[in-house]
């Protein structure tokens, strides 16, 4: 099982309110300004959306800086850090790293966040649908990151600590594979190998019957060549799916991804009255229209790309149209972007390009999977078994109150 290779899994962050998550940093700042300027306590409690564990009088910390934050009903309440947030598969948003606004912040994940960390998400206790069996992000993932619903204990970190010295890999597996292949196998190698297999729709298609019993399984080949091929393909996928932030090839620059064929032929107006209220797709002309904007060379495969039922491009656009998407938890959710920006257009293009390059890799992934399945693979009994301690979250000496 995947969970026998990566023994520690955790639930993603759950705010229990939607307004602390937004598509832009400016949007969050506008919501905060509206919140702190509200003097009426009853109205302010409604804006917060108080719960049993989070009220205006609940203190907390900044989950990034660990700075103590005073109560939200204080006149000089300090705003916490705003950080990028893995809201849905391939969808990067922003959130307040504020323990006061988040019922289930999952500090164990925040404490291991670093420039080396990568989080893989899947459905570990639910039935997977068509498409990839896993996605990744280098940002803190939402509880429902993978497919927008049915989230649980589905986040698999690569590392158990921020310095990236403790891999989340069952003890003895690295040594066994290194001896088998005659080369040094790293934690990143196993993560890439696993992702190359799980990120292919061929995996969920070939093992659809087996996956009715929740919990992905991995075939681990004894063949060094096949292992290396999967690692190489997984590296490229991880680079693409973290938008150029992790597993960066030597010839590339961090934070950049290759362009695809999609282009913005007609820009989306940046005036308030030009903000898109809707979008549509024309398959015959391969045209995506967002408000008055037009994006060409968007193939049907890109438009229909999905992760266990989550239609990625449609979901991304629904959240960014004028009315937004999803349930509203507070009047602050109505504080929406006033203008469409060039940055939002760039992010849409990057999403389309990432999906396009991903689809182009799929034939190679299918071949790799087929060759691995047909090769001589390890049996479960030949692989090390994780201990109870390895399945537990890591302990950190700093800020023990986070674990309450």
Predicted pLDDT at 396:
67
* Contact between residue 369 and residue 202 where contact means Cβ atoms under 8 Å apart: yes
Predicted pLDDT at 301:
98
* Contact between residue 222 and residue 139 where contact means Cβ atoms under 8 Å apart: no
pLDDT higher than threshold 80 for residue 404: no
In residues, how long is the chain?
404
Residue ranges covered by each domain of the chain: 2-16+85-254+361-395, 263-355
pLDDT one-digit tens code per residue, 242-278:
999 999 998 888 999 999 999 999 999 999 999 999 9
pLDDT one-digit tens code per residue, 287-343:
999 999 999 999 999 999 999 999 999 999 999 999 998 889 999 999 999 999 999
pLDDT one-digit tens code per residue, 39-63:
999 999 999 999 999 999 999 999 9
pLDDT higher than threshold 70 for residue 403: no
DSSP 346-387: HHHHHHHHHHHHHHHHHHHHHHHHHHHHHS-B--GGGSPPPP
For residues 347 and 261, what is the distance between their CA atoms, to the nearest angstrom? 15
Task: Please report which helix (H) or strand (E) contains residue 318, including its range.
Answer: helix 312-320
pLDDT one-digit tens code per residue, 167-216:
999 999 999 999 999 999 999 999 999 999 999 999 999 999 999 999 99
For residues 184 and 175, what is the distance between their CA atoms, to the nearest angstrom? 8
pLDDT higher than threshold 50 for residue 381: yes
Q: Position of tokens 């990034």?
A: 64
Q: Position of tokens 């093992």?
A: 207
The mean pLDDT of the chain is 95
pLDDT higher than threshold 70 for residue 398: no
* Contact between residue 72 and residue 102 where contact means Cβ atoms under 8 Å apart: no
pLDDT higher than threshold 70 for residue 162: yes
Please list, in sequence order, all residues whose beta carbon lies within 8 angstroms of the beta carbon of residue 150, skipping any fewer than 6 positions away. Answer: 123, 126, 144
* Contact between residue 161 and residue 109 where contact means Cβ atoms under 8 Å apart: no
* Contact between residue 191 and residue 158 where contact means Cβ atoms under 8 Å apart: yes
Predicted pLDDT at 75:
77
Instruction: Please state the rounded mean pLDDT for residues 133-152.
Output: 97
Q: How far are the Cα atoms of 21, 123, 254, 327 from residue 16, in angstroms, in the given order?
A: 11, 20, 33, 11
pLDDT one-digit tens code per residue, 64-84:
999 999 999 987 889 999 999
SS3 176: helix
Q: What are phi and psi of 398, to 5 degrees?
A: -80, 140
Instruction: Please state the rounded mean pLDDT for residues 76-104.
Output: 96
List 142's β-bridge partners, or say none.
Answer: 13
Q: In the numeric block, which tokens belong to residue 126? A: 């639910």
Q: How far are the Cα atoms of 281, 320, 342, 358, 393 from residue 274, in angstroms, in the given order?
A: 19, 13, 13, 32, 48
Predicted pLDDT at 402:
38
Q: How far are the Cα atoms of 4, 167, 192, 230, 383 from residue 170, in angstroms, in the given order?
A: 7, 8, 16, 20, 9
Q: Which of 253-257, 356-360, 393-397 has the lowest mean pLDDT?
A: 393-397
DSSP 207-259: TTTGGGSSS-----BS-HHHHHHHHHHHHHHHHHHTTTSSS--TTS-TT----
Q: In the numeric block, which tokens belong to residue 399? A: 């800020």
């Amino acid at each position: 099982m995947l969970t026998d290779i990566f023994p520690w899994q955790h639930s993603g962050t759950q705010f229990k309110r939607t307004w602390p998550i937004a598509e832009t940093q400016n949007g969050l700042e506008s919501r905060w300004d509206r919140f702190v300027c509200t003097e009426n306590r009853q109205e302010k409690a409604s804006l917060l959306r108080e719960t049993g564990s989070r009220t205006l009088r609940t203190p907390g910390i900044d989950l990034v800086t660990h700075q103590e934050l005073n109560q939200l009903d204080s006149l000089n309440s300090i705003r916490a850090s705003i950080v990028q947030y893995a809201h849905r598969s391939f969808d990067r948003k922003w959130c307040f790293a504020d323990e006061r606004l988040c019922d289930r912040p999952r500090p164990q994940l925040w404490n291991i966040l670093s420039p080396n960390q990568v989080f893989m998400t899947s459905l570990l206790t639910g039935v997977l649908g068509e498409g990839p069996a896993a996605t990744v992000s280098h940002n803190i993932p939402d509880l429902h990151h993978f497919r927008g619903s049915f989230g649980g204990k589905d986040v698999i970190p690569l590392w158990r600590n921020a310095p990236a010295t403790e891999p989340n890999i069952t003890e003895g597996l690295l040594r066994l594979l290194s001896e088998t292949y005659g080369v040094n196998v790293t934690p990143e190698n196993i993560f890439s190998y696993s992702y190359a297999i799980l990120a292919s729709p061929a995996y969920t298609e070939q093992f659809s019957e087996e996956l009715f019993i929740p919990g992905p399984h991995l075939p681990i080949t004894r063949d060094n060549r096949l292992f290396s091929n999967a690692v190489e393909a997984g590296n490229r996928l991880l680079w693409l799916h973290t938008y150029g932030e992790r597993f960066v090839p030597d010839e590339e620059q961090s934070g950049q991804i290759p362009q695809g064929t999609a282009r913005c032929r007609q820009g989306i107006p940046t005036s308030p009255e030009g903000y898109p209220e809707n979008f549509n797709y024309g398959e015959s002309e391969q045209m995506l229209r967002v408000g008055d904007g037009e994006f060409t060379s968007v193939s049907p495969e890109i438009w229909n790309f999905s992760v266990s039922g989550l239609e990625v491009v449609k979901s991304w656009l629904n959240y960014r149209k004028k009315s937004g998407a999803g349930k509203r938890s507070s009047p602050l959710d109505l504080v929406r972007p006033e203008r469409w920006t060039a940055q939002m257009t760039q992010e849409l293009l990057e999403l389309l390009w990432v999906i396009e390059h991903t689809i182009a890799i799929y034939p190679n992934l299918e071949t790799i999977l087929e060759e691995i399945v047909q090769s001589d693979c390890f049996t479960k009994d030949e692989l090390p078994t994780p201990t109870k301690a390895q399945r537990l979250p890591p302990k950190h000496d700093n800020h023990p109150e986070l674990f309450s």
